[in-house]
Amino acid sequence: MRRQLLVGTMLVIGAAWIGVFAQTPAAVPRTPWGDPDLQGVWTSEPELGVPFERAPELGDRQTYTDSEFEQRRVDAQKQLATDNAEFDVDTADTRNAGAVGSATSPPPHWLERGKPSRRTSMVIDPANGRIPATTAEARTRTQRAVRGSFGNGPYNSTLDFTMYDRCITRGVPGAIFPAVYNANTRLVQGPGFVAITYEMIHETRVIPIGDRPHVASSIRQYLGDARAHWDGDTLVVETTNFNGRAPYRGSSDQLVMVERFRRAGTDALRYEVTLRDASTWAAPWTAALNLSPQRDDMYEYACHEGNNAMRNMLSAARAADRQAGSK
């Protein structure tokens, strides 16, 4: 009996190793329950150098020419050199603040500049790489929206700040797109579920996979209500039921977002997102990222604990009120 168990175990192990070596480079790794394995910490930081929309003069060109790419590489090196020259790490002081913005900008070693890329835009549909025209309703909505730290006030309460300022949420799909830093995303899978954690603000979406229906339309959430299914080796996530309080590029609570995650080779993850909101854009549009593996795990993003900016802006506004009152 023990010999049979040993032989059986050896056969299973041997078959497993044969399977590993028999895989071709294009083979999609699988979870123990058979789904495509998309797990890991992925970063969009290298894509930071890709323009979100394509320059109009480039038309439908999806890539830069060799000479254009070389110029972008040179410009990136100049930017990095300027960053480092303008910040004195020992005194934490910006010098001739130009590239880093102002004396309140973070030190350059905090910033992620990305890498020069041949991609001309993150927007891949329409073919011209540009977001379709916004509706009059959306323009009015944007004008009335709270601008928070990106505006000039008034700052009378926390309600005068965005959800991002308040460390509540960065929203989706914005959280996966690279900004100044913290451009990492972690995917964890289980049978029937996928969990997506974003480093910036540090929030997690737990998404069921299968034919489970969306919740009632009366239930609205910051990150919407997401449902996923497999289309071959691509994980497709449809999200509805947004509450509109964390809009993406002016979107409304009628936004429908369809995301696609798939392996691109053995060491990359392709992400595409299609946004449909008739009250905001004249037509649906799609943007894409090529995510790279992040060798380290994500660190805690203690946003609330370190959120001094909002408190400082509110106290500064009160000081300005007192000064105006004394005059």
76-104 pLDDT, tens per residue? 888 777 766 554 444 333 333 333 444 44
What is the rounded CA–CA span in Å between residue 278 and residue 162?
23
Q: Which of these ranges, 74-83, 114-123, 164-173, 277-286, has the smallest mean pLDDT? A: 74-83
Helix (H) or strand (E) run with residue 299 in it: none
Rg (CA), the chain: 24
**What is the separation, in whole angstroms, between the first and last Cα of the chain?**
96
Q: How far out from the chain centre does Cα 144 lie?
A: 25
Break the chain into its structural domains and give their ranges. 41-63+126-313, 68-118
Cβ–Cβ < 8 Å for 121, 129: yes
- Residue partners of 57: CB distance under 8 A and separation at least 6: none
42-66 pLDDT, tens per residue? 999 989 989 999 999 999 999 999 9
Cβ–Cβ < 8 Å for 176, 198: yes
What is the rounded CA–CA span in Å between residue 59 and residue 45?
26
Task: Supply the pLDDT for residue 79.
Answer: 79
Task: Supply the pLDDT for residue 210.
Answer: 97
Query: Where residue 300 falls among pLDDT bands split at 50, 70, 90?
Result: confident
119-138 pLDDT, tens per residue? 999 999 999 999 999 999 99
Task: Supply the pLDDT for residue 26.
Answer: 62
Q: Per-residue pLDDT for 260 more than 50?
A: yes
Query: Where residue 293 falls among pLDDT bands split at 50, 70, 90?
Result: very high
Q: How far out from the chain centre does Cα 283 lie?
A: 22
129 φ/ψ sector (left φ>0, alpha ψ -120 to 50, else beta): left
Helix, strand, or coil (residue 143): helix
What is the rounded CA–CA span in Å between residue 46 and residue 62?
17
